[in-house]
Structure formats: structure tokens, C-alpha cells
Amino acid sequence: MLDPRSEIYPTIEYRPIQPSDLEALEKIHLALFPIRYEREFFLNVVNGHGIVSWGAVDISRSDERRDEIIGFVTTRMIAAKDSEIEDLFRYNSSRKDLTLVYILTLGVVDSYRNLGIASSLVQEVIKYAASISNCRGVYLHVISYNQPAISFYKKMLFKLVRRLPMFYYIRGQHYDSYLFVYYVNGGRSPCSPLAFLKMLVAKFWTKEDHCNPRWARCKESTTRCKESTTLLAPQNNKRIISGDDTRCHV
């Protein structure tokens, strides 16, 4: 492994994760995360079954381990309408095929940290998401006590859009989660003026809204109806984390 006191920086390359990475991928996950992932998850990652992933390798190593992954990011494509943040994209309700990229896990072995590898892995995800015309963002959850991860995603310009109280249940303990989004391809926070205007147009000109008594009452009282977006989300959206839950981004 890399000697952190060395002034010689390694040469890192990024590539798709492949079947030969299975053992190293399992080993790193076990070392980095507080939960156990099922074998099926790793097999899906290395074989690309519903999961798109990238690995970081140190090609400057002189031994046979120069192609062994020392960092990784795993992701899954999700339809925006089926995601937990579907409400953030209602301003673009005319599009029913919008998608999002969800980051499942991200990690770098200890001896290669602080070299920009995690940032480069996330940039690979962002580039991938931006290359898909109907994709509007990259999103993920961070458990509330992981301050380094929270600071990392803020530095990467992800937007903190929601706090989910008691979202995780791990080993008998409840934890909050923070939900971060990085918008691509014109995706934007519903708090932005343009997104809010589009949301109002979509809301007011649907058949359902034309027949909605609530809008009529609102119009009569000359008050302005609008949907508010807060960091605090409803508390009925929780996760019980077991060994087979691949969505605990800690």
C-alpha cells in the first residue's frame, strides 16, 4: 500500500468495476461500512446487473496488484417518479421519463485518502448522469453522524435538500439522514424562480387542478397558492438497515 509519508504520488486510473474485482470489493466494503452487504449485491456490481460502477486503481505500483481497486463508487439508475425526491421535479411534470442516478456506496481505502480519488469517482458519476439526456440529477443519503461525508458532498456542490428524521434503524438505534442532490441537464431546485414558475404552470393547467375546489377557494380569497420545499421531510419514510440493504450511504 501507499506510504502516506511518501512525496511520490501514485498514478490513479478509473475504470468500470469488473468480475475480477469481486474479492477486493467485498474486502473494502467490510472495512469501511458498519453493515454487511449480501454476496448478491457484489455479484450484481461486478457483473453490471442493474448497477453502474467505477473503480480506482493505482497503475504506478510495480507488483501484480497494480490493477487491484483501491476505491469505488456504485450507482443505480432510478425513474424520477419512483424516487424519494419526485416532488422536487414536479415543475417538469410534462416529462414522464425523467431519471436520476442514485449513489449506493462510495469508498477509498485508508492509505489512499486525501488524494482526490473520491472526488474523481463522484465526477465520473456526474459525467455519466450528464450524458443521459433525460437524467436530471445525482442523489444520495448520508447518515447524520458522518460529518466528513456531509462536508465532502457540500464541497462537491451537492445541494442539501432534505433532512429525514429517524430515517435509518441500525442495530437498535435510530439515525437521521441527509439527502443531497447534484442537478444535471437543466435539473434545478424547485426553489429557483424558473423551476417555481414551471411548477406553477404545470399545476394550474392540468385537468385535475382546474377541477380542484381548493384552487377555487384560494382564488376567491386572492391568496397565492404555492408548494413549499423544506429540509424537513415527512417521517413516514424510514429505512431499517439490515445486511442486504445496499442504500445505506454512510
For residues 71 and 117, the answer to whether their CB atoms sit within 8 Å is yes
CA distance linking residue 138 with residue 129, whole number of Å: 7
Q: Write the pLDDT tens digit of every residue in 76-104.
A: 999 999 998 888 877 666 678 999 999 99
CA distance linking residue 140 with residue 86, whole number of Å: 14
pLDDT greater than 50 at residue 115? yes
Helix, strand, coil share of the chain (percent; to 5): 35, 25, 40
What is this structure's pTM? 0.75
For residues 98 and 136, the answer to whether their CB atoms sit within 8 Å is yes
Predicted pLDDT at 36 = 86
